[in-house]
Amino acid sequence: MTFDYDLFVIGAGSGGLAASKRAASYGAKVAIAEYDLVGGTCVIRGCVPKKLMVYGSHFPALLDDAKGYGWKTSNLELNWEHFITSIDKEVRRLSQLHISFLEKAGVELIPNRATLIDPHTIEVDGHKVTADKILIAVGGRPVKPDLPGMEYGITSNEMFHLQKQPKHIAIIGAGYIGIEFACIMRGLGSEVTQITRGEKILKGFDEDIRTEIETGMTNNGIRLINNNVVKTVERVPEGVKITLSESEQKPVIADVFLVATGRTPNIDGLGLENAGVDVVASSMEGPGYKATNAIAVNQYSQTSQPNIFAIGDVTDRLNLTPVAIGEGRAFADSEFGNNHREFSHQNVPTAVFSTPEAATVGLTEAEAREKFGDAVKIYHSRFRPMYYSLTGKQEKTMMKLLVDANTDKVLGAHMVGDNAAEIIQGVAIAVKMGATKKDFDATVGIHPTAAEEFVTMR
């Protein structure tokens, strides 16, 4: 059978872009459909604009620190309109850049929504096209719980387009998205109240990371309300009034209410049932949430239909941009590059761009204990970095290594503190290669740095 395309990709986010360009480099005829800006969540409403906001939020603290070094600083004032507009311009520049990369790679971009008609047929822009292989890379989207008044809340999508800076923002959600925005807005000068339904933030991270970030957030003036669920939200003259589950807890009144309690695979309207693509229950949980589904795939990102594949957040495996990119390239190598391989989801480093920042790779202490029991040896350090010696601040950095005493292999590395993500990226290479504690000890540290602590811990 003759097809219009060797590969048709649905979704021009990080994974879809990587897969389409890699497949085209092997000589495949490729088209990619995207109804929104090219770039996906990461470029348009995720990693990139959020990290720019993180950078912007650090300047007040940096100028305050400068006083300890003898600098005279004047009063700060944030031009919110300039800040948001500049970020939006950069996002759109990057989107156009990705379009040019597709053109150079020979990938046809179809700026419309695509729907599956059958295992080899896609309807896009009112026309039907066929493809030998189809890749679904449509990502995920934020969702709100079905609770009274949630229509008054915004999601992370809208955070980058607020017309004016909130004086007081209330945030529900204990995951990295809610935590990062809480720290961003506090750094920019807004009053912040963070509401979580558990005892601690960042479920699934190492306990020391959770504790250190929570302590840092509190020290930076963020009000944390734990063990509470939002009962109702209502509009009031001051903004929104949030009533909580614990009766003794007073309602929170804020001018902006951010709902950051979860994301779900973006499978609606894809026509999966038309192509016989199976789904599996997603990991969404919590009060007010209904069961959601992700696309079921094997280790090669192959769905129940042999010629249809799915990568990234729509599969709800490990929802990180570099993972989607890695899965996309592994798919293209396997199906078009004569290099059948799977992408490893083991020892993937990740970071939380909070204040203080955190990064991690490998097993948490709880995971290591469950797998290796008493053989786990812990190396832990907590100190004030040299940078703060003249500022008067008592900011702390935490570093932690988990080691299998039987093999001396490093099982996990965790850090909270300045530049944690930059430092852990290098450490992740060693962990991925199976380095031992003896290897770390034999490495000469760069002095004076905070990073040298990873090779001097005893």
Model pLDDT for residues 383-396, shown as the tens digit of each residue: 999 999 999 999 99
The whole-number average pLDDT for the span 238-265 is: 94
Residue 284: predicted pLDDT: 64
Residue 291 has pLDDT above 90, yes or no: no
Q: How far apart are CA 201 and CA 28, in angstroms?
A: 45
Residue 299: predicted pLDDT: 97
DSSP states of 230-264 = EEEEEEETTEEEEEESSTTSPPEEESEEEE-S-EE
Half-sphere exposure of 271 (CA within 13 A, CB side): 17
- SS3 (DSSP) at 396: coil
Percentage of the chain with pLDDT > 70?
Answer: 99
Q: Which residue has the higher pLDDT, 280 or 282?
A: 280
Question: pTM of this prediction?
Answer: 0.96
Confidence of residue 76 (pLDDT cuts 50, 70, 90): confident
Contact 362, 412 (CB under 8 A): yes
Contact 35, 113 (CB under 8 A): yes
Give the chain's mean pLDDT: 96
pLDDT in tens, 197-237: 999 999 999 999 999 999 999 999 999 999 999 999 999 99
pLDDT in tens, 353-380: 999 999 999 999 999 999 999 999 999 9
Contacts with 298 (C-beta within 8 Å, 6 or more apart), sequence order: none
132: left (phi over 0), alpha (psi -120 to 50) or beta: alpha
* Alpha-carbon distance values, 27 to 15, 337, 432 (Å): 19, 9, 32
pLDDT in tens, 24-40: 999 999 999 999 999 99
Confidence of residue 404 (pLDDT cuts 50, 70, 90): very high
Residue 451: predicted pLDDT: 98
Confidence of residue 425 (pLDDT cuts 50, 70, 90): very high
What letter would DSSP give residue 318? S
Percentage of the chain with pLDDT > 90?
Answer: 95
Residue 248: predicted pLDDT: 87
Partnered with residue 193 across adjacent β-strands are 170, 223
Tell me how many degrees the CA angle 429-435-439 measures, rounded to the nearest 5. Answer: 115
Domains and CATH numbers, the chain: 5-140+264-336 (3.50.50.60), 150-261 (3.50.50.60), 356-455 (3.30.390.30)
Closest by CA to 4, choosing from 26, 28, 34, 38, is 28
pLDDT in tens, 302-344: 999 999 999 999 999 999 999 999 999 999 999 999 999 999 9
Size of the chain, expressed as the number of residues it contains? 458
Q: How far apart are CA 194 and CA 235, in angstroms?
A: 19
User: Count of CB atoms within 10 A of residue 422's CB?
Assistant: 12
Element (H, E) at 58: helix 47-68
Residue 286 has pLDDT above 90, yes or no: no
The whole-number average pLDDT for the span 111-136 is: 97
Strands 239-244 and 223-225: unpaired
Runs of H (alpha helix) within 308-436: 321-336, 365-372, 420-432
Q: How far apart are CA 188 and CA 191, in angstroms?
A: 9
138 exposed, middle or buried (CB, 10 Å; 0-12, 13-18, 19+)? Answer: buried
Confidence of residue 288 (pLDDT cuts 50, 70, 90): confident
Residue 374: predicted pLDDT: 97
Q: Which residue has the higher pLDDT, 289 or 19?
A: 19
Q: How far apart are CA 156 and CA 167, in angstroms?
A: 18
| Number of helical H runs and strand E runs in the chain | 12, 23
The whole-number average pLDDT for the span 407-428 is: 98
What letter would DSSP give residue 289? P
Residue 196: predicted pLDDT: 96
Which tokens belong to 227?
């063990």
Dihedral over alpha carbons 114, 117, 118, 122 (to 10 degrees):
-30
Closest by CA to 129, choosing from 20, 318, 2, 223, is 2
Residue 289: predicted pLDDT: 74
Contacts with 349 (C-beta within 8 Å, 6 or more apart), sequence order: 359, 360, 361, 424, 425, 427, 428
Q: Which residues are catalytic?
A: 447
User: Count of CB atoms within 10 A of residue 100's CB?
Assistant: 10
Give the chain's largest Cα–Cα span. 75
Q: How far apart are CA 416 and CA 418, in angstroms?
A: 7
Q: How far apart are CA 223 and CA 233, in angstroms?
A: 19
pLDDT in tens, 158-190: 999 999 999 999 999 999 999 999 999 999 999
Tokens 């480093």 belong to which residue?
Answer: 349
Closest by CA to 136, choosing from 10, 246, 304, 273, is 10
Q: How far apart are CA 331 and CA 458, in angstroms?
A: 42
